[in-house]
Amino acid sequence: MKLVILDRDGVINVDSDRFIKSPDEWKPIPGALEAIARLNGAGFHVAVATNQSGIERGLLDMNTLNAIHAKMLKAAQQVGAHIDVIYYCPHSGDADCRCRKPSPGMLIDIGQRLNVNLQDVPCIGDSPRDLAAAAAVGGRPILVLTGKGEKTRDAGHLPAGTQVFADLPAAVDALLAAS
């Protein structure tokens, strides 16, 4: 099975320093959902792994997170895209959990659920945490410059072999050209 793992905020949708706390605040980055549809059309399964510490912080509850994800899935479906699974970590950065990126727990769980060896699986994100989790499972870290991506690139210290693209559509172009 061909798999791509995506971060959510800053990769699929516009990010906010104040968290995405409602479905109304969830806005897709132009071309991102169509890029997922192109991945699907080329035989890729798509998973989302997203830190959502706003839950533990009390900024949103599970019903609201589910409504945000329902909006994302509906918007994806409207352009012919399909997201196979969504994993999230509800814990804050202070929590010592196995799931919050940069820990690789969510990615490991995705690999186990889909029965995929994560070695060289493209993992696309906009933050150092996303890239570190990808590297920890032997995935292929890919940085997009949307969301926090430019700041991440400018700070340096990217995992070895990290590829950098302007946005998700550009990253998908490269993945499809190489497959």
Q: How confident is the model at residue 94 (pLDDT cuts 50, 70, 90)?
A: confident
**Catalytic residue IDs:** 7, 9
Which amino acid appears at position 56 of this protein?
E
Taking the C-alpha atoms of residue 12 and residue 9, their distance in angstroms, rounded to an integer, is 6
Q: Concatenated DSSP letters for 131-169?
A: HHHHHHTT-EEEEESTTTHHHHHHH--PPTT-EEESSHH
| Number of folded domains that form the chain | 1
- Residue 87 structural domain: 2-178
For residue range 99-158, list pLDDT tens digits in order.
999 999 999 999 999 999 999 999 999 999 999 999 999 999 999 999 999 999 999 999
- The whole-chain average pLDDT of the chain stands at 96
Q: What is the CATH number of the domain that holds 64?
A: 3.40.50.1000
Cα–Cα distance, 100 to 175 (Å, whole number): 26
